[in-house]
């Protein structure tokens, strides 16, 4: 998100705008700011499935790809962290590991899905960084809310 904002700033405005247009079955992302000054997004329009657009979380497919990557990172770190707990803690059982990893995966998946929904709702704003910011904030808030609900009702302890 920071790299995208800096590149848009080089093009004239951090609030650089874009629009998504349909041409037959293909969807294109057209940028409205000066493309000659940018270093990352050098063109004026890209196919919405372009790898650069996906990696920068621009457009609907980019938001989905970003959420998928975030969930994957969460799963990798959760499994690693709880596996170390399983190996190093004496009173940490396999059931604890299954419940902890499952809980982390569910929270990450729900937060990512709702983050994509929040980002998708702001795609129409036409400012490039707005959907990314909205998605990240929504996912963070939802994840914190799910964690507090989990702690309040002691869901992990009841499952174990």
11-32 confidence digits (pLDDT tens): 777 778 888 889 999 999 998 8
Least confidently predicted of 71-80, 119-128, 148-157: 119-128
- Greater pLDDT, 134 or 35: 134
Number of domains, the chain: 1
Residue 108 is encoded by which pair of tokens? 């990450």
Find the range with the poorest average confidence among 7-16, 18-27, 88-97, 117-126. Answer: 7-16
Six token digits for residue 114: 């709702």
- Using pLDDT thresholds of 50, 70 and 90, give the confidence band for residue 53: very high
Query: What is the structure's pLDDT at 13?
Result: 77
Report the run of H or E that residue 99 belongs to, with start and end: helix 94-121
Instruction: Report the percent of the chain where pLDDT is more than 90.
Output: 66
- Give the angle 125-127-132 at the CA atoms, nearest 5°: 90
Q: What share of the chain is helix, strand, coil (3-state, %, to 5)?
A: 65, 10, 25
Q: Which residue has the higher pLDDT, 122 or 141?
A: 141
Three-class SS of residue 19?
Answer: strand
Q: What is the pLDDT of residue 116?
A: 96
Could you tell me the pTM of the whole model? Answer: 0.87
What Å distances lie between residue 84 and 34, 90, 91, 155, 160, CA to CA?
50, 11, 13, 22, 18
Q: pLDDT band for position 38 (50/70/90)?
A: confident
Average pLDDT of the segment spanning 137-144: 97
Helix (H) or strand (E) holding 26: strand 26-31
Tell me the residue range of the domain where 63 lies: 2-159
């Amino acid at each position: 998100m920071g790299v995208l904002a800096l590149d848009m700033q080089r093009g004239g405005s951090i609030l650089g705008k874009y629009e998504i247009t349909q041409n037959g079955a293909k969807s294109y992302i057209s940028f409205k700011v000066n493309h000659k000054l940018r270093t990352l997004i050098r063109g004026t329009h890209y196919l919405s499935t372009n790898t650069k657009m996906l990696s920068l979380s621009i457009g609907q497919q980019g938001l989905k790809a970003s959420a998928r990557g975030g969930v994957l990172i969460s799963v990798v770190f959760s499994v690693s962290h709880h596996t170390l707990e399983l190996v190093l803690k004496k009173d940490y059982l396999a059931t604890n590991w299954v419940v902890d990893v499952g809980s982390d995966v569910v929270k990450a998946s729900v937060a990512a899905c709702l983050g994509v929904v929040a980002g998708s709702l702001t795609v129409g704003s036409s400012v490039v960084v707005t959907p990314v910011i909205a998605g990240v904030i929504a996912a963070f808030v939802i994840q914190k809310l799910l964690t507090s609900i989990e702690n309040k009702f002691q869901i992990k302890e009841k499952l174990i």
